[in-house]
Amino acid sequence: MVHSITINGTRYEVNLAALPADISLNTFIRENAGLTGTKFMCQEGGCGVCVCTLTGIHPETGEVRTWGVNSCLTMLNTCLGLEVTTTEGLGNKRVGYHAIQERLAKMNGTQCGYCSPGIVMNMYGLLKSKGGRVTMAEVENSFGGNICRCTGYRPILDAMKSFAVDSDIAVPAECADIEDLGTKQCPKTGELCAGTCKKQSPKGSQVYLDGSRWSWPESLSQLFEVLQSAVKEKLPVMLVAGNTAHGVYRRSADIKAFIDVGALADLKGHKLAVDSSSLTLGGNLSLTETMDICRQLEKTRGFEYLSQVWQHLDWIANVPVRNAGTLAGNLAIKHAHPEFPSDVFIVLEALDAQVIVQESVAKQATVSLASYLKTPMEGKIIRGFVLPAYPKDRFLFDSYKIMPRAQNAHAYVNAAFLLELDNASKVKTARICFGGINPEFVHATAIEKLLLGRNPYENELVEKAFGQLSTLLQPDAVMPDASPVYRRKLACGLFYKFLLKTATQRKQGVGSRFALGGSLLQRPVSSGKQNFETFQEHYPVTKATEKHEGLIQCSGEATFANDLPTQPSQLWAAFVHAKKVGAKVTKVDPQPALALPGVVAYLDAKNIPGPNYLGPKTREPMFFAQDEEIFATGEIKFYDQPVGIIVANTNALAQRAAGLVKLSYEGGAKEVLPTLKDVLNKVGASSSDRIEHRYRSTLDTLDLEGEHFDLSSSGQLDLGLQYHYFMEPQTTVAVPFEGGMQVYVATQWMDLSQDIIANILKLKANEVQVKTRRIGGGYGGKATRCNLAAAAAAVAANKLNRPVRLVQSLESIMSTLGKRWAFHCDYDFFVQKSGKIVGIVSRFFEDAGYLSNESHMGHGVAVSKNCYEFSDNYKLDGFLVYTDAPSNTPCRAPGSLEGIAMIENIIEHIAFETGQDPADVRYANILPNHKMAEMMPGFLKSTLYKDRRSEIIAYNKENRWRKRGLGLAIMEYQMGYFGQYPATVAIYHSDGTVVVSHGGIEMGQGMNTKISQVVAHSLGIPMQMVRIEASETINGANAMGTGGSVGSESLCYAVRKACATLNSRLEAVKEELKPSDWQQLINEAYNRKINLIASDQCKQGDMDPYSVCGLCLTEVEFDVLTGNYLVNRVDLLEDTGESLNPNVDIGQIEGAFMMGLGYWTSEQIVVDNQTGECLTNRTWTYKPPGAKDIPVDLRIELLPKSPNKAGFMRSKATGEPAICLSIAVAFALQQALQSARDDAGVPKAWVTLNAPMTPEFLVLHAGTEPSQFKLN
């Protein structure tokens, strides 16, 4: 049967039988419609790169509406008859750009650009759904589902908030105005149209060759007809609405009957009872629709509590997920998975809502939620929900959800409470519900009974209630969930918060120090300030221009490796992973996979023509001292180590088939030690097998004789792994070509990829050409780690002589590839009362993984003194620790982040022990005449450091359950050059335009923008005449990898040299003819046969090393009862010399700082220490910061009047240094934590800093116990 779907105004006829039954809209858009602006990443609705909009007629109201969805979760068959809009449909170079695209680009809201189309479409969907009228708060609240690793969000939010009705954000004059957003724009023509959406014609059903079927019932009778038929045939059934459950629990591959319930008006409505005693909600209402209904009715007597219901629903997932996910779907997850911490369930259960379960047109039953969970639902549906009225004068209701970040995360613990009070203000009924405790626990029944007939605010009752509740709550221990101890304390804290809030509302005499404990942290709309100087005489260099590729990134025209058009003969590959560490794979049985139609081959090490070695032919000791296999052949070194690949016709099929390959093992490790802590705790720091003493101090012991010190102490620092979280997955497309191989790799280091592929295929280097247009973020994670996918794809393409595309899933990337090295430090310090350091002993340990090929210990040692003056009494020893884990790899500021953190932590600890101001201790130890000694006093003055510190101390004394902290960090970051970077500049005689090809990789750092500025400045032409072409291994032959923040400067240097060569060739023509314009000059040069192509390079030694200084002051506000916090303000000053482009450099600083903020607060890698499995390998479990985790007030200043005598054109690098300043947030949290501990009566002691300092960490170190919970 042929159906249709409209995308960007173009109608596509779809032969469903030729497609998989569960094909996603994302796959169809990209591979069938060829619209690659919609990106591909997590495949579970957690990243936002795939957002597009749907437009259709609401089945219940008949209104035309538009809503944003995650196309990776949305199933194609649910979109038939709808209109789909992608970023290409909004605007492009040919027809002009949409205002959203223009503002995001021109307001510096893009870097790598991989997330940009999703951000554009999320905003478009928001504006369309709201009739074009939104507030800044609504905008800022709507981007929880769009992850951006590059920018730090501030410029994105500025651009998007500029569309708000209450916005005062300045918009660049050249940006198009936006009008008629409430009226549908035809994406095909750009003209306004009158809304031509038509009611969909009946779609019937579709049967597939594998026996699966799709049905699109138009009525309840049709629904039950197909449902009962499937049950009778014993077919696994899925009722399809938004398919958002797939983002939590993967959809079964065994489903045979898909029933789309989206067109059923009976499941979409809502009805308020005539006497307003109840509200009925349709089961298939989306969460967004439910929120809208709650807003409409929240002022209705008895339903005032709906104000809290919609706010709680707003904490669920993100906007596109809420647009698609339904009430019934959410409860269906809870039914199938009792451990699921459903927010819908916990709120409805506290409200004693009833579920309407229907099993035929004529038969339905209204049951409690508890009964529903025990009801077999085969052949039944959730028709709707009934919510009672609870007049606010008699009922008290509130609900809570505590998460590891502000948005788009499931709860540590959620809770909802409902108390009914009689005329004497005593409890008549109570419903106290918690989620996230264990699968069986919902009601704190004993506490509900305890409160009956009592005033809930009596101190004696409160004390007794929490004594019982802390015993009653028995959270289960399930990794990677937070610990039972934290979840118990958190649950008690939430009920206490409820009592404080309601007692305050009812004027029950809550003590002023306790009052703030009753409220959650309230985050205002964020803002930012940026201060910098430019030098007009050097324009366009130093000018704050927009990014070179900004507009095409926002329109989706900018292509990445996976955006290459699919060739008819192309195959897809996916890794087969081993699961038993220390064992040897004795047998591989691929037959279950090969039996699936469309699976082509299983390949492993036997199919590699050359060595099974993931390294270059000529070994380089810094990176490749030890052998690393592509496919494991001997002992399995870590959980999920690849042993081979499956090659199939589609990506989805390859992924599924890879999981069906059966592996047999022999032996296994007696004890798996997958983490740094495991080795240090179980084996000890002296293990010669596991620990290598890599850096040795020149001192055997400290010589303190004759040195005066007043105090000595010791401490530790623990820093965890961090995933790079590049938005573009590891991607390679390998294409056999004329006896060689063309390989499109998402790599930071083309030369290495070329070398590895040539080596393993036994080809000459000139027979392998690597091409990289751009990559969607790297941060070091695509320098060497990209080559596992590149090598595997090349092996398959070579063996099968067909193009092969390998796009690693997020789970595979996070399980098989290394991350930032975990770090542990033990230290001792000897100081004077003033905080002046007399001596330091430090032993640090770094987690290499199972190999140490990419150790960055040298970087850590180089910066470990920061900008401080030490005597010779500085003993530093560094150790590499081998763990049963993937080989770890450089990650933004490798070694430098850890080295600076190590000494800054010691300085902060010294201030704590001596009782000195941390700023004073730092200043007392700064090297004489150091630039920091000049920068620091002015920075402290401009940020009002002393006043704010005093205000915070006073605030903390006045508040028991809300604390603030102020953290200072300073940095001297060492910059040095390495390798060589070639570039070619060519001038076209026909119009004088210029093209540049170089050996660097644009990954969001603005390299191409700066190169364009330098070329334009050097040749004296407008930037618009300069184009940067894709990087490849011809003009970019032998180039060093792009990393270490040196790529942009090095290539700017190379192109300036090439331009100087061109200018010298053109000089004679200029002198002789004095041409009136550039075009005349180039025409004449061409006529004289002057070579208009020049190549040159930057090599190590061409520019001198230098350092980057910076300071950061961070203020936090911390909820002692939950562990949640706000970053209220950040001031950051960095010496960037004379910035080549302040827009680009501020973007790099903000992005680096936010990546560090995630490192210190939310990004937690959890590993099963029994098996070695990474348990946080998805967006569901790994949480980088989101849009509402950024500082509320972010102030960035580039140090003025500070030209760099070294480096390029007086500038400095900005890509990495600022991440080292993010430790300031940890120091701010330490100050807040110490105040809480002091109030709790905990003995004064320094809290060992941990990365990340999660809400769990903070609560467990705050010293809070339920016995401390009082109302006055």
Does residue 1269 carry a pLDDT above 50? yes
pTM of the predicted protein model: 0.97
pLDDT at 200 (0 to 100):
59
**Length of the chain measured in residues:** 1272
pLDDT at 384 (0 to 100):
99
Does residue 186 carry a pLDDT above 70? no
Instruction: Judge whether 219 lies within some domain.
Output: no
pLDDT at 180 (0 to 100):
41
Cβ atoms < 10 Å from Cβ of 234: 9
For 754-768, 867-881, 999-1013, 1155-1169, which range has the lowest pLDDT when averaged over its residues? 867-881
Are residues 519 and 650 both part of a single domain?
no
pLDDT at 189 (0 to 100):
40
Q: Which residues contact 581 (CB under 8 A, 6 or more apart)?
A: 636, 637, 638, 639, 668, 669, 672, 674, 884, 1171, 1172
Does residue 562 carry a pLDDT above 80? yes
Q: How confident is the model at residue 296 (pLDDT cuts 50, 70, 90)?
A: very high
Q: How confident is the model at residue 181 (pLDDT cuts 50, 70, 90)?
A: very low
Residue of 893, 831, 913 lying closest to 868 (CA atoms) = 831
748 is in an annotated binding site: yes
CB–CB of 575/808 below 8 Å? yes
Peptide bond into 1266 cis (omega under 30): no
CB–CB of 1144/1049 below 8 Å? no
Are residues 399 and 421 both part of a single domain?
yes
**Structural domain count of the chain:** 5
Task: State how far the Cα of 461 lies from the Cα of 467, in Å rounded to an integer.
Answer: 10
Instruction: Judge whether 892 lies within some domain.
Output: no
Give pLDDT tens digits for 1025-1067.
999 999 999 999 999 999 999 999 999 999 999 999 999 999 9
The single residue of 140, 546, 1216, 1256 carrying the catalytic annotation is 1216
Angle (nearest 5°) at CA 226 between 220 and 228? 95
42 is in an annotated binding site: yes
Are residues 1034 and 1109 both part of a single domain?
no
1044 is in an annotated binding site: yes
**Tokens read off for 462:** 């409160």
Q: Which residues pair with 355 in a beta bridge?
A: 367, 385
CB–CB of 520/400 below 8 Å? yes
The chain-wide mean pLDDT, for the chain, equals 96
Instruction: Judge whether 883 lies within some domain.
Output: no
Q: Which residues pair with 204 in a beta bridge?
A: 216
Instruction: Judge whether 129 lies within some domain.
Output: yes
CA torsion, points 326, 332, 333, 335, in degrees to nearest 10? 150
Q: How confident is the model at residue 179 (pLDDT cuts 50, 70, 90)?
A: low
User: Residue 671 is which amino acid?
Assistant: E
Task: State how far the Cα of 1143 lies from the Cα of 402, in Å rounded to an integer.
Answer: 36
Are residues 502 and 533 both part of a single domain?
no
pLDDT at 707 (0 to 100):
82
Angle (nearest 5°) at CA 386 between 383 and 387? 150
Q: How confident is the model at residue 201 (pLDDT cuts 50, 70, 90)?
A: low
Boundary (domain end) residue, out of 1048, 1066, 1099: 1099
Does residue 856 carry a pLDDT above 80? yes
Task: State how far the Cα of 952 lies from the Cα of 1117, in Å rounded to an integer.
Answer: 10
pLDDT at 195 (0 to 100):
46
Percent of the chain with pLDDT over 70: 98
The 3-state secondary structure of 669-696 reads CCCCCCCHHHHHHHCCCCCCCCEEEEEC
Cα dist from 219 to 239, 267, 815, whole Å: 14, 10, 45
Are residues 648 and 760 both part of a single domain?
yes
Give pLDDT tens digits for 33-78.
999 999 999 999 999 999 999 999 999 999 999 999 999 999 999 9
Does residue 724 carry a pLDDT above 50? yes
Are residues 1040 and 1149 both part of a single domain?
no
Cβ atoms < 10 Å from Cβ of 217: 22
Cβ atoms < 10 Å from Cβ of 767: 17
pLDDT at 669 (0 to 100):
79
Task: State how far the Cα of 67 lies from the Cα of 498, in Å rounded to an integer.
Answer: 35
**Tokens read off for 285:** 């209402």
By CB atoms closer than 10 A (0-12, 13-18, 19+), residue 130 is middle
CB–CB of 251/238 below 8 Å? yes
What does the DSSP 8-state code read for residue 200? P
Give pLDDT tens digits for 1188-1246.
999 999 999 999 999 999 989 999 999 999 999 999 999 999 999 999 999 999 999 99
Q: Which residues contact 1162 (CB under 8 A, 6 or more apart)?
A: 404, 405, 1183, 1184, 1185, 1189, 1252, 1254
pLDDT at 103 (0 to 100):
98
Give pLDDT tens digits for 1135-1147.
999 999 999 999 9
Does residue 1157 carry a pLDDT above 90? yes
What does the DSSP 8-state code read for residue 724? -
Mean pLDDT on 382-392 = 98
CB–CB of 121/87 below 8 Å? yes
401 is in an annotated binding site: yes
Instruction: Judge whether 123 lies within some domain.
Output: yes
Are residues 501 and 437 both part of a single domain?
yes
Q: Which helix (H) or strand (E) holds 448?
A: helix 445-451
Are residues 1068 and 1139 both part of a single domain?
no
Does residue 190 carry a pLDDT above 60? no
pLDDT at 1078 (0 to 100):
96
Q: How confident is the model at residue 185 (pLDDT cuts 50, 70, 90)?
A: very low
Are residues 1026 and 1115 both part of a single domain?
no
Instruction: Judge whether 1229 lies within some domain.
Output: yes
pLDDT at 192 (0 to 100):
35
pLDDT at 178 (0 to 100):
62
Cβ atoms < 10 Å from Cβ of 990: 9
Q: Which residues pair with 1032 in a beta bridge?
A: 771
Question: Which residue has 């330091």 as its token pair?
Answer: 840
Respond yes or no: is residue 671 known to be catalytic. no
pLDDT at 203 (0 to 100):
78
pLDDT at 72 (0 to 100):
98
Q: How confident is the model at residue 1111 (pLDDT cuts 50, 70, 90)?
A: very high
Q: Which residues contact 368 (CB under 8 A, 6 or more apart)?
A: 352, 354, 355
pLDDT at 194 (0 to 100):
39
Instruction: Judge whether 227 lies within some domain.
Output: no
Q: How confident is the model at residue 196 (pLDDT cuts 50, 70, 90)?
A: low
Boundary (domain end) residue, out of 1066, 1099, 1132: 1099
pLDDT at 684 (0 to 100):
83
Are residues 502 and 519 both part of a single domain?
no
Are residues 542 and 587 both part of a single domain?
no
Q: What share of the chain is helix, strand, coil (3-state, %, to 5)?
A: 30, 25, 45
pLDDT at 285 (0 to 100):
98
Are residues 744 and 771 both part of a single domain?
yes
Q: How confident is the model at residue 688 (pLDDT cuts 50, 70, 90)?
A: confident
Among the residues of 233-273, which ranges form H helices? Answer: none
Give pLDDT tens digits for 467-485.
999 999 999 999 999 999 9
Question: Which residue has 């010779």 as its token pair?
Answer: 872
Question: Which domain, by its residues, includes 127?
Answer: 2-161
**Tokens read off for 416:** 């909802």
Task: State how far the Cα of 163 lies from the Cα of 769, in Å rounded to an integer.
Answer: 45
pLDDT at 874 (0 to 100):
94
Mean pLDDT on 308-318 = 99
Cα dist from 795 to 462, 506, 604, 761, 769, whole Å: 68, 72, 9, 7, 15
Does residue 395 carry a pLDDT above 70? yes
Task: State how far the Cα of 674 lies from the Cα of 579, in Å rounded to an integer.
Answer: 13
Q: Which residues pair with 70 in a beta bridge?
A: 51
Does residue 787 carry a pLDDT above 80? yes
CB–CB of 414/402 below 8 Å? yes
Boundary (domain end) residue, out of 493, 510, 527: 510
By CB atoms closer than 10 A (0-12, 13-18, 19+), residue 345 is buried
Q: How confident is the model at residue 183 (pLDDT cuts 50, 70, 90)?
A: very low
pLDDT at 620 (0 to 100):
72
pLDDT at 182 (0 to 100):
36
Mean pLDDT on 1246-1266 = 98
Instruction: Judge whether 1039 lies within some domain.
Output: yes
**Tokens read off for 911:** 């201030």
Cβ atoms < 10 Å from Cβ of 1206: 14
Domain at 546, CATH number: 3.30.365.10
What does the DSSP 8-state code read for residue 37? T
Peptide bond into 616 cis (omega under 30): no
Angle (nearest 5°) at CA 262 between 256 and 264? 110
pLDDT at 704 (0 to 100):
85
